[in-house]
Amino acid sequence: MKLSKNVIIAAGGSGGHLFPALALADRLKEKGKQVILVISSKKIDKKISNLRDYPREIIYPELNPLRKGGPKAPPFLNNKPRTKTLVRAKHSFPAQGGARFSKGIRFFWRIYLSFLRANRILNKYKPAAVVGLGGKNTIPLLLLSVFKRIPTLIHEQNVLPGRANRFLSKFVNKIAISFSSTERFFPQRKVVLTGNPLRREIFGEGASRESTANFEKPKGDKKDKLLFKDLSVNSQSPDLSHTTSLRDKSLRRFTILIMGGSQGAHRINITTLRTLKELSRSERERINIIHLSGESDYPFLKKEYSGLDIDCSLFPFLENIGRAYAAADLLISRAGATTIAEIIALKKAAVLVPYPYASGHQKANAELLSSKDAALMIEEKDFNPQYLRQIILALENNPERIRKIKKNLEQFAVANADELLAEEVMKLGNRIHPVKSAYGGILPC
């Protein structure tokens, strides 16, 4: 029997789920597999998936059946106090009960539609395996795949697993993790350590000299002498932090990469801007800034930087971020799973400011690194310009401290994560289960 070459990869909701999905898809394509991406209807999903030309399907529902009490939860899962009741005859019922009932009906209707959509996707592509990399849109597809006896694998990028993966772990065939400490949350017989796959753009592969010159400099800066380390260096080595400018090595500056994840972070944007304003003129002259702001803060920051006497390259989003990493001596960033994986792979010193409303995922990621002196962590409540200024100046003047942080990152590295994960998917897709599937015939398992 000829096995299907199709593999469905489902992910959605954030770059932390989607970027590893693209890295895995690229590796599976090299191995001769036909990859289909299944994403959610969020803008960030479409934007990131457009970086590749894989066939794409969308599962639309934005409701989360695993979340209690949130604004998107159905009324009967919401653990807030009940509304005032009205008494009529012998029966009592909640005020606005009709509206609450209607929301509950809509919730179940959208869940039904999501499973219907998932069923159509599975019947259309008849995959040899289905892979989930997190996001609530993956739940219907993975559950239905289990029901149809299609081999399934989930990958967890964070130290602390998300609700979707915790729920799905009970049913899927295999669970891939990025950190050994995550194993305790899952059935051990299913777990394999693969690390978190990264896109090759992170390592500067495919970079052209022309595109590296496109660091946009805010208008109004009369110096016109933005001198970064050469970002077009074609090197396979992930540690490019000591590559100096080919134009003028004597003007080597301490370069800070500021970013807030795939969608930006307003708090990091504002606090770092205020910090830079508090630096003295001589301190600003020793620093270069690469700032990935996200779309919403970009116009404001562009205006602010144009009046600030500091060399800065500002982007709303940088597709080939590997060049920015190559230039950076220090990162100021959130602690999302993909950022953490990139920091580890590229051995970059970082100040991590975990997003406090991410169910503890980012804090757990940052704490793991900071506990081993492999990063500095500042909780958002303590993140202020005065404290950040002290850290920047202390690290700028202490290269030995940065080297120590880089050395400590090595203990978390898992080489060739994309290859390891792709091999696990291939093993699943090549198995045969002697049961008739919904497709008819013998089912690959």
Answer yes or no: is pLDDT of 65 > 50.
no
Give the model's confidence band at 299: pLDDT under 50 very low, under 70 low, under 90 confident, else very high: very high
pLDDT value for 101:
58
Whole-number Å distance between alpha carbons of 131 and 340: 22
**At residue 276, does pLDDT exceed 70?**
yes
- pTM comes to 0.77
Q: Report how far apart, in Å, the C-alpha atoms of 3 and of each of 355, 428, 433 are.
A: 43, 11, 12
21 touches 133 (CB < 8 A):
yes
Task: Give pLDDT, residue 425.
Answer: 96
Please state the rounded mean pLDDT for residues 23-49: 93
For residue 422, pLDDT over 60 is answered with yes
Name which residue leads in pLDDT, 111 or 233.
111
pLDDT at 110: 83
Which has the minimum average pLDDT: 8-22, 129-143, 175-189, 258-272?
Answer: 258-272
Q: How far is the first Cα of the chain from the last one, in angstroms, to the nearest whole number?
A: 13
| Tens-digit pLDDT profile for residues 425-439 | 999 988 654 444 444
Whether 355 has a pLDDT exceeding 80, the answer reads yes
For 31-161, where are the alpha helices, taking DSSP H only?
43-49, 97-125, 138-147
Q: What is the dihedral of CA 37, 117, 131, 19, to 10 degrees?
A: 40
Pairing of strands 349-352, 442-444: unpaired
Q: Which domains does the chain have, with CATH numbers?
A: 6-85+103-196+417-444 (3.40.50.2000), 201-412 (3.40.50.2000)
